[in-house]
């Protein structure tokens, strides 16, 4: 078996600056990230790329952009940064916020119905284009020159414009979301790191329960409560995310991808991969190859 460098999505912790309800950052150095960063976080994320071209790798979705991009990602979608050493971009604005960043009841207001629907659609990943991308980009840049109150009201306006726009594509990246709620983060972090380090192996419930000083029944109840899925489901989704990465970036056979991702049954891998992504591993790889060819040779 060919061994590859295991690069799995890291849980990124995001904290807004003091006095702010959402995180706002700008990167203006050419190629600011020296290495690609495969990660996820419970916050929604808006990424505006003013110029340049590059790859969108979000969950099981692979596509390319040219002339800049405006992306809205829902919570817990594993993705790469969009301005890494491969892209050639020189300006990126990133906004990250929790779904309830304005309070638990805010999205339930009648006036917020469109934004609530936008947040729901973001779980599949959205890419905006045309006048919407240009207008939102200009408004995002203006946020850096506003006081706190005006910044908040303008950001709500930005969300409303995105919510009512027709100029977007759904990226269909919602098949896999590594959901982790913000409860007992120390224990969840410990579980998550253990899975990252051992997902290519058979992880018995007894060993992960012992790792966090719990009995198996207590661990199973706890994990299902916090993540809304069983531990086996979580590990399998983690492995599928890794398999998507290998299929798109490594010259491995599909059987090799299966075993490198921690599955020991090829038939089970094929069935689970199609259930989670909507296509077979072979079809997924062919689609990636087609996107690369069309965007870089015909586009």
- Tell me which residue of 188, 126, 200, 198 sits closest to 161, measured CA to CA: 126
Give the number of residues written for the chain. Answer: 299
pLDDT band at 292 (very low <50, low <70, confident <90, very high): low
Quote the DSSP letter at residue 42.
Answer: S
3-state helix, strand, coil in the chain (%, to 5): 45, 15, 40
**Predicted local distance difference test score (pLDDT) of residue 89:** 56
Say if CB 120 and CB 154 are below 8 A apart: no
Output 3 or 299, whichever has higher pLDDT. Answer: 299
Whether 144 and 36 have beta carbons less than 8 Å apart is answered as no
Output the furthest CA–CA distance in the chain (Å, rounded).
Answer: 57
**CB 168: neighbour CB atoms within 10 A?**
19
Query: Tens digits of per-residue pLDDT, 145-183?
Result: 999 899 999 999 999 999 999 999 888 665 555 555 555
Unique residue bearing structure tokens 């086996």: 232
- Report which of 82, 84, 73 is spatially closest to residue 121, judged by C-alpha positions: 73
Q: How far is CA 211 from the centre of its chain?
A: 27
Whether residue 5 is predicted with pLDDT greater than 50 in this model: the reply is no
The average confidence (pLDDT) of the chain is 80
pLDDT band at 217 (very low <50, low <70, confident <90, very high): very high
Q: Is pLDDT of 10 > 60?
A: no
What is the reported pTM? Answer: 0.60
Q: Which domains does the chain have, with CATH numbers?
A: 10-170 (2.60.120.10), 185-292 (1.10.10.60)
């Amino acid at each position: 078996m060919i061994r590859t460098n295991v690069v799995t999505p890291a849980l990124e912790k995001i904290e807004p600056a003091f006095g702010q309800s959402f995180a706002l950052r700008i990167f203006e150095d050419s190629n600011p990230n020296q290495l690609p960063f495969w990660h996820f976080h419970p916050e929604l994320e808006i990424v505006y790329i003013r110029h340049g071209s590059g790859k969108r790798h979000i969950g099981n979705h692979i596509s390319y952009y040219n002339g800049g991009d405006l992306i809205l990602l829902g919570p817990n979608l594993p993705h790469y940064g969009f301005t890494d050493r491969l892209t050639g971009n020189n300006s990126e604005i990133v906004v990250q916020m929790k779904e309830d960043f304005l309070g638990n009841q805010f999205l339930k207001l009648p006036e917020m119905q469109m934004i609530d629907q936008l947040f729901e659609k973001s779980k599949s990943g959205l890419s905006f284009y045309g006048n919407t991308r240009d207008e939102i980009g200009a408004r995002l840049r203006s946020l850096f020159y506003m006081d706190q109150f005006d910044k908040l009201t303008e950001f709500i306006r930005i969300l409303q414009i995105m919510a009512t726009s027709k100029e977007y594509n759904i990226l269909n990246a919602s098949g896999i979301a590594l959901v982790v709620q913000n409860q007992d983060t120390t224990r969840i972090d410990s579980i998550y790191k253990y899975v990252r380090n051992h997902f290519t192996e058979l992880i018995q419930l007894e060993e992960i329960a012992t790792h966090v000083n719990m009995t198996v029944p207590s661990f199973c109840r706890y994990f299902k409560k916090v993540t809304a899925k069983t531990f086996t489901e979580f590990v399998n989704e983690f492995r599928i995310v890794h398999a998507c990465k290998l299929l798109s970036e490594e010259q491995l056979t599909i059987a090799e991808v299966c075993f490198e991702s921690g599955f020991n049954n090829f038939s089970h891998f094929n069935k689970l991969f199609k259930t989670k992504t909507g296509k077979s591993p072979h079809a997924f790889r062919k689609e990636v190859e087609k996107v690369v060819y069309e965007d870089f040779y015909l586009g």
